[in-house]
Amino acid sequence: MSVKVQICRRLKDLTRDDLEKLTKTELVDKVIQLQSYNRQLKNILHKKLNESDNDDMIKLTESGELSKDGGTEGIESTETMTTIEPNQEKSLSRKFDFSKTFKRHVLLKLLYFGWNYQGFACQEDSNNTIEFHLFKALTRTCLIESRSSANYHRCGRTDKEVSAFCQVISIDLRSKFPEEHQFEECYLEKEFDYCGIMNRVLPKNIRCISWMPIRNYLFSARFDCVTRTYRYFFPKGNLNISAMQDACKLLQRHTDFRNLCKMDVHNGVTNYVRHIEAANVRLCPHENESKNKGYAMHYLEIRANAFLWHQIRCIMAVLLLVGQEKEEPSVINELLNVEKNPCKPQYTPAVGFPLNLYHCEFRDKSEQKAMNESRQDIKDIRDLTKWLHSENNLRRLIENLQSEWSRAQIKATMIRSTLYDLEQLLENQFNAIDVNFQISLLQEDVKCRSYQKLMNRKRCESLNNRIEHFVKKQRLTVPKQKDSVEVQEFSMP
């Protein structure tokens, strides 16, 4: 049973009375600290300014698309709304007047490879995130005025190195047409090519696939998502796939996963109950297991409404041990029995780069109250419409991915050819059996001479002990029983 807590927010600013009570030494230390903080802010701002493309002069056409100065690619109309000339400094600082435009609420479906990024969500100390480049593209193309006014929600918050084949965001974008015409078929065909516009300025490993017009402005990609499906890709190596599949069946339940995730108690997360709807290990399409032996690629597919921090990576770490026959599939039951095992055994999650957000499903009608009162009386109307694609955009996306595939496949084939020769040499010279260490990359545990069973390892702190620890540090407070009704129970999406 989860404990309800509150996060203590410490005030960083001191009042004048507080400052007058400080000694000279404390004041000097405070000034030095502020100077250091200002230098850090200047470095961050300098880094952001350097990343802007000041050398490429652009033209913003009436269709909202961008092209380099002097070019004609992507221009649908001869009449331009704003033209930026190299010798006109005033036009560079001219702001787009959003008060004269219309808005529509949409879902955007994104694809990105997160191997070289620090995660999806924006961070204060790094611009190397998916969201940073996403909002940079949205503001540069004048599709939004700012993040704060864009009514923005994301479906999932992927971690460092994690990719997404179907990340979905909900957002308000600039539209050509007023609200009363936005859902008519003829006007949808003439609407901005949102995906094409964004893909012209996004990095090549971040792409917009399609968009969907939404009737309810309160429809949220986060709160109205009913299922999220992740896939974790891995080579077979020496794994017992049948044993891993048996272990997956034990995951499909509504229970406490505190021993199969990274607990985030300091952020107020005390509820670790989740419902795994499905979990399976499958052979990748177009793979031949009998021919490729240990090199055949498989994937873990797991579906749920919401996941905990590093939950899938922890599950994969245990499944790899089961597949190596170091653990029995029944170890899943032991880890999920939090009454018998309240403390998590120490183990390292599997690496993050093979993981991706593969699919998301949404409810037809949002549980949020519609902003347009005229639509509230229509109970049968769906908030969702249909995904809109552009043939040219899909062709460019496929061409881009085919190039990336060719580069990666050529490297993989060269390595595989060398491995084949070396394996033949080992077999002929020493009559050795197959060497299958393909999955060692996925495990970051310290290699020991003798393996120690999971349930016999040293344990981490229990959830109650962690709560007490942060309560003593005044990071959390446990409200009294009479106030507990007013406190929300924290849980990660």
Please calculate the CA angle 219-220-221 and round it to the nearest 5 degrees.
130
What does the mean pLDDT of the chain come to? 83
Q: For the packed helices 311-323 and 241-251, what is the interaxial angle rounded to 10 degrees?
A: 140
- Assign 18 to helix, strand or coil: helix
**E strand or H helix that includes residue 278:** strand 273-283
Cα–Cα distance between 310 and 75 in angstroms, integer? 44
Average pLDDT value for residue range 130-153: 95
103: left (phi over 0), alpha (psi -120 to 50) or beta: beta
Are residues 157 and 360 in contact, defined by beta-carbon separation less than 8 angstroms? no
pLDDT tens, residue by residue, 188-234: 999 999 999 999 999 999 999 999 999 999 999 999 999 999 999 99
If pLDDT is split at 50, 70 and 90, which confidence band does 13 have?
low
Cα–Cα distance between 205 and 266 in angstroms, integer? 34
Of the candidates 254, 380, 260, 356, the residue with the CA atom closest to the CA atom of residue 309: 260
Q: What percent of the chain has pLDDT over 70?
A: 82
Catalytic amino acids?
Answer: 159
Average pLDDT value for residue range 21-48: 77
pLDDT for 38 equals 81
- Assign 108 to helix, strand or coil: strand
Please calculate the CA angle 116-120-126 and round it to the nearest 5 degrees.
65
pLDDT for 474 equals 76
pLDDT tens, residue by residue, 261-319: 999 888 888 899 999 999 999 999 988 777 777 899 999 999 999 999 999 999 999 99
pLDDT for 470 equals 85
If pLDDT is split at 50, 70 and 90, which confidence band does 9 have?
low
If pLDDT is split at 50, 70 and 90, which confidence band does 489 have?
very low
pLDDT for 55 equals 41
